[in-house]
Amino acid sequence: MKNNKFIEKTLELSDYIDINLVKKFIVFDEISSTNSKAKELARNGEDEGTIVIARMQKKGRGRFDRVWQSPDGGLYLSIILRPKLTPDKTTLLPLVGALAVSKTINLFGLCSKIKWPNDVRINRRKTAGILLESESEEKQVHYVVLGIGINLNIDINRFSKELRNVVTSLSYELNGNVDYQKFLKILLSTFDKYYAMFINRDFDTILKEWKMQSDTLGKRIKIVTSSDEIIGKAYDVDKSGFLIALTESGEYKKIMSGDCIYFDEL
Ligand code: BTN
């Protein structure tokens, strides 16, 4: 799609979209990172529900400061949130984001699954990821920026050699492009539904649905954290979104963040 046409069409969508959470779209043709822009706006007081969207990113960021390759055809957005909850509750939000993304993808006839905490995959290949960044004080969240990157209509040959065997896109899986604006609209209304649950502290329902959408629990896993490697069985996920692993020595270990590797994929 021609660049300015992208901005025009996406902005047009915001005119008739009727989703509680969505207040404003800020659309770019090209940007360094929608998360960086959304954080800057949030620091300057931008409201909850402002969404930064870009056709492509030059410096897309993933978890653990990894590069998120962001060619055109992908969906790159960051939502500013200001939940009136204590900061410790926000750790569930990336799982809320992954749940909304996975549910949306499945409405397009695919079977995506979530790998803890928030990798959305189709046929075991990564298709989407969530990056949550926030600023808080002890008892108060100032803002949360929830960044979502989805390989929507991307020819997988556009990804680097190392990524080609481990990622996929919706267009590759469907053998044809997905309507960007339609996908975006469904994604935002699905996210709105789960975010409302989150604000109402209905963490049980979110977790129940996340577990149905995930293929992690029950699997033999290796979790690589910044300081540790844990091997065991994925036993449960708690209301904070933390993984509880049952280690080989019979110990239950709570893991807040890390890379999850399935042994049956090694
Ligand atoms: C991951 O590592 O899985 C998370 C990837 C998150 C990428 C998205 S794309 C939109 C937003 N802007 C960024 O720079 N990153 C997130």
**For 23, phi and psi rounded to 5 degrees?**
-105, -40
Q: Is the CB of 147 under 6 A from ligand 1?
A: yes
Condensed to tens digits (0 to 9), the pLDDT of residues 82-116 reads 999 999 999 999 999 999 999 999 999 999 999 99
Q: Which of 18, 231, 26, 210 is nearest to 118 (CA)?
A: 210
Residue 33 CB less than 6 A away from ligand 1: yes
Q: Ligand 1: distance of its center to the CA of 221 in Å?
A: 24
Residue ranges in the chain assigned as alpha helix (H):
3-16, 34-43, 93-107, 161-164, 170-174, 180-199, 203-213
Question: Could you read off the pLDDT of 175-218 as tens digits, one per residue?
Answer: 999 999 999 999 999 999 999 999 999 999 999 999 999 999 99
Q: Could you give the CA distance from residue 245 to residue 192 in angstroms, rounded to a whole number?
A: 31
Q: For ligand 1, is residue 39 a contact (CB within 6 Å)? A: no
> pTM (2 decimals)?
0.97
Cα 102 to averaged position of ligand 1 atoms, centre (Å): 15
- The answer to whether residues 91 and 205 touch, using CB atoms and an 8 Å cutoff, is no
Ligand 1 binding pocket includes 35 (Cβ within 6 Å): yes
- Separation between Cα atoms, residue 9 and residue 15, nearest integer Å: 10
